[in-house]
Amino acid sequence: MRETLVLKVDPNTPEIKAIRVAAIFIKNGGLVAFPTETVYGLGADALNPKAVRNLFRAKKRPFDNPPIVHVGDFQDVHRLVTEVPEKAERLMDVFWPGPLTLIFKRSKIVPDVTVAGLDTIAIRMPRHNVALALIKESGCPLAAPSANLAGKPSPTTAEHVLEDLNGRIDAVLDAGPTRIGVESTVLDLTVDPPQILRPGGTPLEALKGVLGKVELHPVVVAEKEIAIEKARSPGMKHRHYAPKAEVVVVEGELTAVTKKVAELTDFYRRRKLKVGVLATDETAASYRADVVKSLGSRSSLNAIAKNLFRLLREFDLEGVDVIIAEGVPTEGLGLAVMNRLRKASGYKIVKA
């Protein structure tokens, strides 16, 4: 096991010395975690197949799930893709740097392992000075999935990165908590109309504002109701963003949701389980669970998105058996929040 170097940097004006140390690791085929505006990423030279293979291994990520390639300027995109459609030009103009990942047809210079053998590539330009400085100093695009072990909630602090990857990666650039807290929106422009493959930091509404028509991939809106009595049954192996505890999401109108969450709390506590409730400021005081945590006020879905992954990790540290989560409206960043919660629950969704 190697030691993971922690490099503290200022998020706005990162110290060039620390960036250079990190860039040397990247140039030598190493792995460096770094902050973006969404979550921390685990970076490797996207054009170095050996480095990218090590990236998959460090995360224990299956080789058929390709990472996002991060660029620092628009010229890089042209090297990595065969064509930049007009819609992409418009989106890059409006949203880059920012939390929007675009799917392009990939060029021959991209190694197979970086795109998991696909003929497409996912690219974004992050809106974070540390990420941009690292890309520039490394002199290459960075393949960077979220810097968590596969299946765990994405990291929004350097501490989260170390919880999962300490000793498995060369270094982490620590610039404090990330601003957005959920990953970028992944948009497929190789189909018409464009399709959101993963809702994230750039809201659907904002994309529609630029493109007119945008669809959600069926997987994004997937929901399968499972009766609560069966909630401990399998399906767990396909969980993502998943804490160790079982997660149940309660969706519906707020008064009904609050009532249902209280009922479920009693149901599980009678079975001697340690229950955590993922609540909001408006409701938190009304619950009598073992641990109650608030995502923030319902008046700010952005604040809720920012806190989500951190709270899921905190529940694990508290050792709860079950997390009962209140659903939130699927507007703005709420769509990304609900997508993560549903996945974390393995689609154990209760309609209130």
3-state secondary structure 122-187: EEECCCCHHHHHHHHHHCCCEECCECCCCCCCCCCCHHHHHHHHCCCCCEEEECCCCCCCCCCEEE
Cα-based angle 340, 129, 206 (whole degrees, multiple of 5): 45
| Nearest distance, CB of residue 346 and ligand TXA, angstroms | 17
Residue 36 interacting with ligand TXA (CB under 6 A): yes
Task: Give Rg (Cα) of the chain.
Answer: 20
* Integer Cα distance of 63 and 51 in angstroms: 13
The answer to whether 258 and 286 have CB atoms below 8 angstroms apart is yes
With contact defined as beta carbons under 8 Å apart, do 344 and 243 qualify? Answer: yes
Interface positions, 142-171, toward Mg ion (CB under 5 A): 146
Looking at 48-56, 112-120, 138-146, 217-225, which segment touches Mg ion (CB under 5 A)?
138-146
- CB nearer ligand TXA, residue 67 or residue 327: 67
CB 338 within 8 A of CB 250: no
Residue 47 as a binder of ligand TXA (CB under 6 A): the answer is no
Which stretch in 1-9, 49-57, 182-190, 296-304 sits in contact with ligand TXA by CB under 6 A? 182-190
**Residue 135, binding choice from Mg ion, ligand TXA, none, Cβ under 5 to 8 Å by partner class:** none
Binding string, residues 63-102; x marks residues near ligand TXA by CB under 6 A? --xxxx------------------------------x-x-
Of 84-92, 178-186, 324-332, 337-345: span binding ligand TXA (CB under 6 A): 178-186
Which stretches of the chain bind ligand TXA, using CB under 6 A?
Answer: 36, 38-39, 41, 65-68, 99, 101, 103, 115, 118, 120-122, 126, 144-146, 183-184, 186, 197-198
